[in-house]
Amino acid sequence: MNMRFFGLLVLAWLSSAPSFAAEAPADFSALSNEQQQQLARFAERWPELEPEQRERVLAGLERWNAMSPEQRTVARERFERWRELDPAQRQQLRQQFQRWQQLSPEQRERIRQRFERFRQLTPEQRLQLRQRFEQLRKRTR
């Protein structure tokens, strides 16, 4: 595993990943040997991280270790796209993610279903729908 990449991936998750790992120890040496090896880049900074940040790092590590090779490839590609964004675009995505997290499970499911229906449309149908949407937006301004 590319440790540099993994460290960057975990840092990206710090700002958006929900915390579901067990409470992270304040002392880096209290981590398992495997965790210490995988998170070696964090060794010096570990005591400076807030407890929630340490938990998020461990949660990210758990997710990473649970991924299949294909899922890791997708994660790397997404992270590369994330790195290419400028700070304003990243902030906008963080805000959108926060709004998504605030939706009820039912609202999220409705959105997923609508998105799936949209994906099933032909390119021409998508274009027509986008044009209609733009017309509606112009009328409401």
Is the pTM higher than 0.75? The answer reads: no
d(CA 73, CA 51): 29
d(CA 118, CA 123): 10
Q: What is the mean pLDDT of the chain?
A: 86
Judge whether 62 and 21 are in contact, CB under 8 Å.
yes
pLDDT, tens digit (0-9, with 9 covering 90-100), for 96-121? 999 999 999 999 999 999 999 999 99
Where residue 94 falls among pLDDT bands split at 50, 70, 90? Answer: very high
Identify the weakest region by mean pLDDT among 12-16, 44-48, 78-82, 83-87: 12-16
Judge whether 39 and 61 are in contact, CB under 8 Å.
yes
